[in-house]
Amino acid sequence: MSDHTISRRQFIKKTALGAGGLVAGSIGAQTLFTNPALTVKKGSKPNILFIAVDDLRIQLGCYGHTQTLSPRIDQLAADGILFERAYCQVPVCGASRASILTGIRPDHSRGRFTAAGSRADQDAPQATTLPAHFKAHGYHTLGNGKIYHFVADSANGWSETPWRPYDYDTDGNGDWAAYNFDKLWLDPASKQYVGSNGRGPYFECPDVPDDAYEDGKIAMKTIQDLRRLRAMDKPFFLACGFSRPHLPFNAPKKYYDRYDPEAIDLADNRYAPLNKPSGCTNSTEIKQYTKIEGWPNQDAFHRQARHAYYACVTYVDTMIGRILDELKSLGLDQNTIVVLWGDHGWHLGEHNFWGKHNTLNNALQVPLLIRAPGFRGPLRTHSLVEFVDVYPTLCALTGLPGPDSHTLAGESLVPLMQNPLQSGKPAAYSEWGTGRAVKTDRYLYTEWSNGSKMLYDHQIDPDENNNVAGQPENSSVVAELSSLLQNLIL
């Protein structure tokens, strides 16, 4: 069911907003699409491996970022469909996860999914979450690592107690950032820099094995669970949530060593966008850590921070590869849907911004990959999609009905998987603070409750260096995009 009060046909006719709206990404040689139901054993349901990666922006080889080493994620993309323009609904961990796992949009006016520490069970208590829905329909559901922001959030949706490597703030009623504590720092030299808030340096790279850090432990636990689940007589929904490349950028030394820091490119627009509204701000999350000399604008910091982020991506990429290898070795890969997503975007020095927490494209655009039985990659689509589309997509791929408890805000992506050249939905919507944003084929527009406006024309300014909301020639565009926001059903 669509939330849009303007039809796609009506929207596409509006050429001022839809220029190039029917352009789609290239697809591979395989263009024959089969019914997923024909590829699985009669009477069985496909399994689901649901992989979440914290703070992962589209800094991946499969998205064209050649400096980042992500071979295993790139291979997953080559085997399935890559969504080139996927958007999260909230650029912060807790709220984004609550939104994707309920299929409900954020709404600042109702206090729903707008805070860093948002919980699905508190902000949308009526909703049947994605794991709970699959559990109710015969799936064995497991959650390892960071799926929801809090391990206790919507815990009744899991068949087994959700698991994390460390116990912290288990009821979700204490410090929402309690995941920052001294166990995360393994280098003895880091200990002297742990501050009064319990947080140490923003990165470290000791010579330790992969499973010394939590993401290695999460990969091992997920592999062990796959071996157990293979013997069960029911399908599984196995969620695996990795913590890196969220701060602190801690990873084993060997992943740092794969990069030459002097060869790492820096952003070429390290200045504030022209006419930037006051509501568009830099995240200060990194300031909660130590050893951040040079933040936010010195070259040495930029190069060091990018190096650290890339190393963490490669570390997690390797862990994901091990899980996918185990899935294949167990003979489960042909009957398992794999979904990989990053919960929101991240700035890596563009505009001297570091982190998320705004409605610029780098904070909102996210990686989204799906590999499913019956769909042979490599496939890519340039159509706009949203995280709220994931819930109905998984229902469609497994033949489940939608939940009875609430209306899903998104639309199934199966038609795009069958024909990546389709135009898809006309717009994607996001919120942060009192700002509400809409992304169309050409524009990204934000308006705040105080009346401030921000418009970027991605056709001529893809790096968002000039806010053109105030230019008279764009008044009709602003009015049209503002109308989309006002008429969006929440």
User: Could you give the residue numbers annotated as active site?
Assistant: 93, 149
CA angle 156, 162, 178 (to 5 degrees): 110
Asked whether the beta carbons of 432 and 237 are under 8 A apart, the reply is no
Radius of gyration of the chain (CA): 21
Secondary structure (3-state) at 309:
helix
Q: Which residues contact 202 (CB under 8 A, 6 or more apart)?
A: 247, 248, 249, 286, 289, 290, 291, 292, 305, 308
Q: Mind giving me the DSSP string for 167-192?
A: --STTSSS-TTTT-SGGG--SHHHHT
Tell the residue number behind the tokens 């795009």, with chain if given.
416
203, β-bridge pairs: 249
Dist. CA 197–CA 199, nearest whole Å:
6
Side-chain half-sphere CA neighbours of 388 within 13 A: 23
Q: Which residue type sits at 409? A: A
291, 292, 294, 299 alpha-carbon torsion, rounded to 10°: 100
Report CA torsion sign: 447, 439, 264, 211.
Answer: positive
